[in-house]
Amino acid sequence: MKKIVLIAALTLLVAAAFNSCKKKSDDTPPSSNNNTGATTNSPETQSAYDNTICESEFTAIVPATTSKAITTKGISGRKVALTSGPYIWFTDTANFIDAITGQGKWPRRMIIDYDRDATGNLLLFPFIDVDGRIRKGRISMLIDTFWVKAKSPKIKIDSLVNYSVDGITYKADSIVISKNDTSQTTSVYNGKCSTSTWNLSWSGTRTFAYVSSTGGSTPDEVHVTGSAYGVNKDNVAYSTVISSPIVKNDACKYISSGTINLSISGRPTFSVDYSANALGVSSGSCDNAIAITVSGVRVVVIVNY
């Protein structure tokens, strides 16, 4: 059961700011009450919690996909294929070269298979990615040209086959990634995040900038801006706008910093701070704490995903 932990000192004002709603299933985060009678089981908290589940993976899937395109023979122009990580293969490789012109043919379909090792053998144990998450299933995509600096390629992920991350299944009609020299623009169309007991909807358009957290030449995190909209477990629709860039480090399971403004029809817009730690301090640490601020009242929530 998903749990929300309230660890801020709350006043009676929280009861008004966070208008509680009835718990609908065991997978809806339960109310957390202190002696003031305040509750975190509200449309605001539920939407922030559920958005984080979808936001995190639909953010992580972009650098995970493009980094493999950059280093894969047949896409990057490299002369050797990857020797570690999930199995990466192409369909219809016999038609990579035009028989008449001798030129390369595009688009090419690339498959990332998290159920096999780099040589194509079925894994005996689940694949643990660089961010520490267990990924299963396949990502299938079309790439329209070489992924090199001189080009402006586009990736269209059009099939997530039994794709799950730490037990949560992710799907989308398509995820389109367009590259230029300095950034990538990504659109997620009709994304779904689900388990056997709940379903979330999420779509959005994002711009990704790749930077080095240490100031070096090798990027190891993305800074993300843009907007999204979704539907939470209670079938409440919401929309988000990133007000301070979201930061996701390659080696971190979670979004470590950044702020979004989240809006629900008929209710005040509120902020969600990903840089908060479990004590409510904006530290940018790698953890699953978020801070929700409604009408000046700040509440820390732990998102279990």
pTM: 0.82
Please tell me the distance from the alpha carbon of residue 3 to that of residue 204, in angstroms, as a whole number. 26
**Rounded to an integer, what distance in angstroms lies between the CA atom of residue 11 and that of residue 15?**
8
| DSSP-derived secondary structure for 191-258 | EEEE-SS-EEEEEEEEEEEEE-TTSSSS--EEEEEEEEEEE-TTS-EEEEEEEEEEEEETT-SS--EE
In a domain, 144, yes or no: yes
What's the pLDDT at 91?
A: 82
| Cβ proximity of 263 and 229 under 8 Å | no
- Burial class for 62, CB neighbours closer than 10 Å (0-12, 13-18, 19+): buried
Whether the Cβ atoms of residue 6 and residue 300 lie closer than 8 Å to each other: yes
For residue 282, the enclosing domain spans 13-302
Burial (CB count within 10 angstroms: exposed 0-12, middle 13-18, buried 19+), residue 1: exposed
108-138 residue pLDDT tens? 888 999 999 988 899 999 999 999 999 999 9
142 inside domain: yes
Whether 1 is in a domain gets the answer no
Residue 23 domain flag: yes
Q: Is 190 buried (19+), middle (13-18) or exposed (0-12) by CB count in 10 A? A: exposed
pLDDT tens sequence across 74-105: 675 544 445 567 998 888 766 666 555 556 67
- Domain presence at residue 8: no
What is the number of domains present in the chain?
1
For residue 29, the 8-state DSSP code is P
